[in-house]
Chain A
Amino acid sequence: MSVLVYVEHHNGAFKKAAYEAVTYGRKTADALGIPCVALVLGAADGAGELGAYGATRVLQVQDPAFSAFDSQVYASVIAQAAESVGAKVVILSHSADGKALLGRLAVRLDAGSVSGATAVPTTEGGFRVRKNVFSGKAIAEYELTTDKKVISVMGNSIPPEKLGAPINVEALSVTVPTPKIRMVAIKRIEGNIPLPEAEIVVSAGRGLKGPEHWNIVEDLGDVLGATLACSRPVADSDWRPHHEHVGQTGLVIRPNLYIAIGISGAIQHLAGVNNSKVIVVINKDPEAPFFKAADYGVVGDLFEVVPRLTEAVKKFKAS
């Protein structure tokens, strides 16, 4: 018996979400008193590093089919791996791929599933997992009564914990089905930390008045090492690309610090950011609804306040 963690990588590189998933798997395994096994599909040199986060075995399957994501192929392979290690619980990241795999694996393994868990399961008096529901407006506790369980872990919920040293990677041999989906092109945003993983996010809305003022947002983002985001109207008017849009219809994020500049805080926007740990709102309208969801607020003209904040952060970083 074991807990199996399917660990994602992009072209061989593991991101924070990968270590979060292994840490979640290790803690779940500890609670159940069974080992945690990590599974990597495709070439990734640093796979042994997953052992340092608590995986007692790291299994790797190599096949050209893994160069493109087809949930049917991946789910089949993960299910075979789960079978071979007697997995009681399968852990995934709550990423684009993870979300597509969760439902498939639940069916394939005849397992109960929880999508986007925000806490490690509790196992006394039943196997229970918490997740956010109603777009972050509430939390639900799910009980899973099935023999096997599948859980996807929400990003920025479980801090990765490095415990030891890397371990050897074992090759696993399984049957890889032929993909039905063909990759034509893939475009990943280079440079910045992707929004779902960012610790600090600086975001701006219509209050910015036009794309020509975006530099003041960038300057603050730069000094904080933040990833930039925007509200829906900003993306819809093409001031900024759509992949930066956070909110109900865009990305849902939960950074440590979310700084909202010139965003009124419509409920649809809040749905994407209300699980941020600390929210700072800068807006000239003291009645902006966002202040009700904020930890810190600055009522003032963003064109003066933001450059001032940038300077203050610079001074702080230099001290």
Chain B
Amino acid sequence: MKLLVCISKTPDTTAKISFSADNKEFNSAGVQYILNPYDEWYSLVRALELVEKQSGTVTVIHVGPAENETLIRKALAIGAHDAVRIDAQPSSALFVAKQIAEFAKGQGYDAIFCGKETIDYNGSEVGPMIAELLDLPFLSFANHLEYDGAKATVSRDIGDGTEVVEVEMPFVLSAAKDLAEQRIPNMMGIMKAKQKPLQVVAPVPFEDKVEIVAYELPPAKSSVKLVDPENMDELVRLLHEEAKAI
């Protein structure tokens, strides 16, 4: 089995979000970057489990500059066999999808895995875009995946419930929580990762169709209004009269 796992870089969940003075750029000063949790914890780990059971390889692919190679090495330390870095600054979901689809085309991957979204732009767009570019079925928000050698059975979050579907390879899948259990790289993995192949590929030309023209922070919450725990009638009154929420 030959699997391709897309990995993305995001600010750490606890990062303080701020922007340049003209509000046009994300301010990355002092921000710690991580592998997008859905990519690392669920998508990559489930892909590894499948090849551990069935034999095969897991290649991780990342679109980003050379400085991101430490994050790629982390994915290799968790167990991916080799890595590909498309040497470009990702500028939009379609840009990333296009680069990955161009690389994957004709390579015979049995499945391409993504996280259900990145925790920075929360778009959920890259997976379906890759699927469309490669004309493949797409299974979003997978929380369970089994493969019996002929077909995959996938359970998907559908917002107000769960759906179970079957599909033959090849396909594109996006991973939600519960698809796998997070793996922490061990010392052996970290040592081995240094020797694993990391191929750098030039991007294909692409013109962006969207641009972020401005960022802003949500209006600051006025400080919390504390209500006497003995007086819940007052809370109800505030929720009705002031907040108009009930």
Residues of A bordering B, CB below 8 Å: 68-72, 75, 95-97, 99-104, 106-108, 110-116, 126, 128, 132-146, 180-189, 194-196, 200, 224, 242-243, 248-252, 256-257, 267-268, 271, 274-275, 277-278, 280-281, 291-301, 304-305, 308-309, 311-313, 315-316
Contacts and interface: CB of A to CB of B under 8 A. Distances in A.
Interface in B210-246: 210-218, 221-222, 224-227, 229-230, 232-233, 235-240, 243, 245-246
A311 B159 CA distance: 32
B212 A309 contact: no
Nearest to A193: B160
Contact of A96 (B11, B140, B168, B216): B140
Contacts of B97: 103, 107
A292 B224 contact: yes
B203 interface: no
B128 A101 contact: yes
Nearest to B116: A99
Given A108-B132, A257-B245, A313 B160 contact: no
A141 B123 contact: no
Given A141-B212, A188-B161, A268-B13, A106 B138 contact: no
| Max chain B Cβ within 10 angstroms of own Cβ: one of A75, A138, A139, A252 | A138
Contact of B125 (A68, A106, A146, A275): A106
Contacts of A291: 224
The 8 closest A-B pairs by CB, nearest first: A300-B229, A103-B128, A194-B160, A188-B161, A112-B209, A103-B129, A312-B232, A257-B245
Interface of B: 11, 13-14, 17, 19, 37-38, 93-94, 97, 119-129, 131-133, 135-141, 143, 153, 156-168, 171, 176-178, 209-218, 221-222, 224-227, 229-230, 232-233, 235-240, 243, 245-246
Contacts of A243: 157, 160-162
Contact of B164 (A186, A194, A301): A186
A251 B233 CA distance: 31
A141 B126 CA distance: 19
Contacts of B38: 249
A72 B161 contact: no
Contacts of A146: 209-210
Contact of B159 (A107, A115, A251): A251
A145 to B, nearest CB: 7
A248 B13 contact: yes
B224 to A, nearest CB: 4
A145 B160 contact: no
B160 to A, nearest CB: 3
A112 B224 contact: no
A72 B233 contact: no
Contacts of B13: 135, 248, 267-268, 271
B238 A296 contact: yes
A224 B232 CA distance: 14
Contacts of A75: 132
A113 B224 contact: no
Contact of B126 (A103, A128, A189): A103
Contacts of B162: 186-187, 243
B245 A278 contact: yes
A189 B160 contact: yes
A143 B210 contact: yes
Nearest to B212: A140
14 contacts: A72-B132, A99-B125, A111-B209, A113-B94, A115-B125, A133-B122, A133-B215, A138-B216, A186-B164, A248-B37, A250-B177, A278-B243, A297-B227, A316-B236
Contacts of A187: 161-163
A161 B51 CA distance: 51
A113 B166 CA distance: 29
